[in-house]
Structure 1
Amino acid sequence: MPAVFRLQHQTVYIKLFSRLLYAVDAKDMPRLDLDEDVDNLTLTTDALSARITLSTDQKIVWSSAYTPSWRGTLDGKPIITRKNSFGLTSFDVPAGTHEINFFYRPWYLWISLELMAFGIIISMLTLIIPFLTYIHIAMFTSWSKK
């Protein structure tokens, strides 16, 4: 009998740890007794979205390494994410059904996009200015010959 119980317990843990979102207790250990439901889960390389239904207020852990570059929203409002004791991303969710969205926006993304736009502008100018100079010289020399 204990072997069967142990097997069922392991199955619960395997099911729990294979999830992306799960509730934890005060010691950041997964809760096995939680009545939660996660659906409409969408995961891409730089975003996660899901609908989660909780019966009570819970601390939820997303099984992704914590970094401040991950931004989160709960029902469209920004949420505060924290690093839990295992280095994963955690946040508080009140009871009820909520839309959770995370997206990866590192601080250096905007700097690199601005530098790229500046580089494209400079590249275009280095191509256009000689062409305009050539047209101006060609027009000037054709007028001076008349």
Structure 2
Amino acid sequence: MRKITILNGPNLNMLGIREPGVYGNESLAAIELLVKNRAEELGVSVSFFQSNHEGAMIDRIHNAYGNEDGIIINPGAWTHYSYAIRDALSAVSLPVIEVHLSNIHKREAFRHVSVVAPVAVGQIAGFGSLGYVLALEAIVKQVLQSENEA
């Protein structure tokens, strides 16, 4: 069974509480359940990890090497400045999809730049929790396509 990990960065543990006008009312647990249900339909296994600590996230990304088939990441604020997260994602050589609940390109100018995007297969932003489901569907397709090409 294919394994996909879903990683969430700083402050995403506060979903449903933090700025619901921007991030919605759903908790991270509710989003995880939504993704888990879709993963079962797709026949893939998913794991979830959230951290407010950059080093812990880097360690989790490294742990994906040889253990998982793809990464979906909402890096939160790390999107815009964490070259360490970007380099960790690049190092494990797995397909990565970057996801954001809000449309980062319609927000403050500093949010328009992603240092993660250049090492990702793609980016999904602005669709709320649906973005995680879309990312799951896209990464599964990407993993299967890579297998067929090998």
TM-score bracket, shorter-length normalisation: under 0.3
**Greater Cα radius of gyration, structure 1 or 2:** 1
TM-score after normalising by structure 2: 0.26
TM-score after normalising by structure 1: 0.27
Structure with the higher fraction of residues in strand conformation: 1
Structure with the higher fraction of residues in helix conformation: 2
